[in-house]
Structure 1
Amino acid sequence: MMRRALLLACALALAGCASAPRTMTGTDHFWSGRMALRVDSTPAQSFAASFELQGNPEQGRLSLSTALGTSLATLTWTPSGAEMRQGNTLTRRDSVDALMAELVGAAVPMPALFAWMRGEALSVPGWQTDLSQHAEGRLTARRADPLPTAELRLIIEP
C-alpha cells in the first residue's frame, strides 16, 4: 500500500540514477520543492518528500527524495513507455498512465499536473485544484473520484 501512495505522489506533483539527464527543450519545464500526500484509505496513509519534476506530459522525470537527500523513487516516461525505479526494483509499463493506473488504481492526470505547476487551472474529472496560493509557490489538488480520496500539497521552491 505504501508503494501506491508513493506512486500517487509521484504522479501528482509527480528516482534512481539509471536514467541519463535529458537535454531540456523549449516545451520542457523544471520544478523542485516539497510534497505531502494523504490517501484516505483503510488504514489512512501519508507521505512526504522532496521532489524534482522536469519535462512535459509526454516525456519527463519525477525524482523523490527524503529531507536528507536519500533517493526514494524515480519515475520516467516517454511516448514509448514508463518506468519507476525504487532502489533495485524496476517497474515498466507501456505508458505513464498505465503505470499509475496499475499502481495507484487510477490514471494520474500528468497533463493537468504540469498545467497546475504552471498555475493553469486545467479541469480533470474527479480532481479539484486550489491554485489561490500559486504565486506564493503553493498548490493543493484533491481527488474525490475514484476512491480512495487523496490530497496532494505542493510547495514549489523558486
Structure 2
Amino acid sequence: MKRRRWLAAALLPAVLLAAGCAQAPRASTPEALAGRLAVQVEAFNDSPARSFSAAFELQGTAERGSLQLTSPLGTVLARARWLPGEARLQTSQGETLGASLDALSERMLGESMPLAALIEWLHGRPWTGAPVQRLPDGFEQLGWRIDLSRFGEGVLVAQRPQLPVIGVRARLDQAP
C-alpha cells in the first residue's frame, strides 16, 4: 500500500503535472499543452523526500480533458481522462476512478491536490473556482504560490508551503 501511495504521489501530481528527452515542439492552443513537468515533495513525518519528472500532453480544460505522462524513454506512465462528475487514471497498476480530479488525487494521495486548478495554472491563469490574490510576478490560490515571472519563456513554478511542501516546475514546449 505504501509503495502504491508513493507511485500515486509521483504520478498524479505530475498529471499535471515532466523532464526527459527533448521532444519536437507541439502547437499550443488554449486547450492543448505539452512539455515537461517536475514535482518535488519534501520529506514529512516518516515519508522521505521524493521527486518525479515526465513529459506531458494535456488536452482540454479543468472541466473536461485528458493528460498523458511519458517517461524519458517514451513509455506511457499514466493517462488521465476527466469530465464533469468523473475522473479516470490508468497506470500499469490498473484504473482508478473518482468523482473529480481533486477527489481522485485525495483518494490516491491521502490529501487533495488542486489538479483542476493546476490545469488552468499551466495556461498562466488562475482557476475560476477559487479566490485569487494577485502578486507582482504571479498569484496565490488555494494555498499555492504561482510564479509567472518566466511564463513568457514557457516556465511555470508552483509552490505549496504547507507540509508536506510541494514544488511543481513546468516547462512548456512552446512559450505562450
Please tell me the TM-score bracket, short chain as reference.
Answer: 0.7 to 0.9
Contact residue 33 and residue 59 of structure 2 kept, 8 A: yes
Contact residue 75 and residue 84 of structure 1 kept, 8 A: yes
TM-score, normalised by the number of residues in structure 2: 0.74
- Is 1:59 the counterpart of 2:98 in the alignment? no
AA in 2 matched with 1:46: S
AA in 2 matched with 1:53: L
AA in 1 matched with 2:40: R
Residue in 1 that maps onto 2:22: none
* Identity, % of aligned positions: 38
TM-score, normalised by the number of residues in structure 1: 0.82
Residue in 2 that maps onto 1:77: 82
SS in 1 for 2:78: strand
Alpha-carbon distance between aligned partners in 1 of 2:143 and 2:152, rounded to the nearest angstrom: 25
Displacement of 1:111 in angstroms is 4.1
Contact residue 39 and residue 168 of structure 2 kept, 8 A: yes
Deviation string 1:24-80 (CA, Å, 9 cap, x unpaired) is xx9x60000001110113310010100011100111111100112110001111113
Contact residue 61 and residue 120 of structure 2 kept, 8 A: no
Contact residue 13 and residue 53 of structure 1 kept, 8 A: no
Among 36, 46, 65, the alignment partner of 2:38 is 36
Across the aligned residues of Structure 1 and Structure 2, the Cα RMSD in angstroms comes to 2.0
- Is 1:153 the counterpart of 2:157 in the alignment? no
Taking structure 1 as reference, are residues 93 and 114 closer, same or farther at Cα in structure 2, changes over 3 Å only? closer
Give the number of the structure whose alpha-carbon radius of gyration is greater: 2
- Is 1:128 the counterpart of 2:130 in the alignment? no
The runs of 5 or more residues in structure 2 that have no matched partner are: 1-5, 19-28, 127-131, 133-139
Alignment coverage as a number of residue pairs:
144
Among 91, 109, 115, the alignment partner of 1:104 is 109
AA in 2 matched with 1:128: R
Among 11, 17, 22, the alignment partner of 1:13 is 17
- Which consecutive aligned stretches of 4+ in structure 1 deviate over 3 angstroms post-superposition? none
AA in 1 matched with 2:118: L
Contact residue 2 and residue 45 of structure 1 kept, 8 A: no
Residue in 2 that maps onto 1:90: 95
Displacement of 1:83 in angstroms is 0.8
The runs of 5 or more residues in structure 1 that have no matched partner are: 15-25
Alpha-carbon distance between aligned partners in 1 of 2:8 and 2:125, rounded to the nearest angstrom: 29
Contact residue 101 and residue 116 of structure 2 kept, 8 A: no
